A and B are shown apart, each in its own frame.
Chain A
Amino acid sequence: MGWETRNGNRYYYRKRRQGGRVVSEYVGSGDLAGLASELDDIERQQREAERDEWRRQVQADRELDQEIAALAEQVKALTAAALLASGCHKPWRKWRVMRG
Chain B
Amino acid sequence: MGSGELVKSEETKLAKSEERRQIAERLLTTVNAQRPTKAQLAELREQMKLAPAIAQELGDLSLQLRQRLIDDIAAAPGLRMVVQEQVRQMANALAAEGASPLERLLIDQILIAWLRWQHAEWAMTSAYKEGISFARANYLERRLTATQGRYLRTVEGLARVRRLLSRTQTQINIAQQQIVQNS
User: What residues of chain A have their CB less than 8 Å away from a CB belonging to chain B?
Assistant: 54, 57-58, 61, 64-65, 67-68, 71-72, 74-75, 77-89, 95-97
Contacts and interface: CB of A to CB of B under 8 A. Distances in A.
Given A83-B164, A95-B164, A78 B105 contact: yes
A26 to B, nearest CB: 28
Interface in B1-57: 24, 27-28, 30-31, 35-36, 41, 44-45, 47-48, 51, 54-55
Interface of B: 24, 27-28, 30-31, 35-36, 41, 44-45, 47-48, 51, 54-55, 58, 61-62, 65, 68-69, 102, 105-106, 108-109, 112-113, 116, 123, 136, 139, 143, 150, 154, 157, 160-161, 164-165, 167-172, 174, 181
Contact of A78 (B55, B165, B171): B55
Contact of B172 (A68, A75, A82, A89): A82
A82 to B, nearest CB: 5
A86 B170 contact: yes
B102 A78 contact: yes
Nearest to A83: B164
User: Mostly helix, strand, loop or mixed at chain A's interface?
Assistant: helix
A97 to B, nearest CB: 5
20 contacts: A54-B136, A57-B123, A64-B69, A71-B112, A74-B54, A75-B58, A75-B109, A78-B102, A79-B105, A81-B44, A82-B51, A84-B30, A84-B31, A84-B36, A84-B41, A84-B44, A86-B171, A86-B181, A89-B35, A97-B167
Nearest to B172: A82
A78 B174 CA distance: 10
B170 A81 contact: no
A71 B109 CA distance: 9
A71 B58 contact: yes
Contacts of B105: 75, 78-79
B28 A77 contact: yes
Nearest to B33: A84
Contacts of B69: 64
B24 A86 contact: no
B99 to A, nearest CB: 14
Given A67-B65, A75-B106, A88 B168 contact: yes
B31 A86 contact: no
A87 B168 contact: yes
Contacts of A81: 27-28, 30-31, 44, 47-48, 51
A57 to B, nearest CB: 8
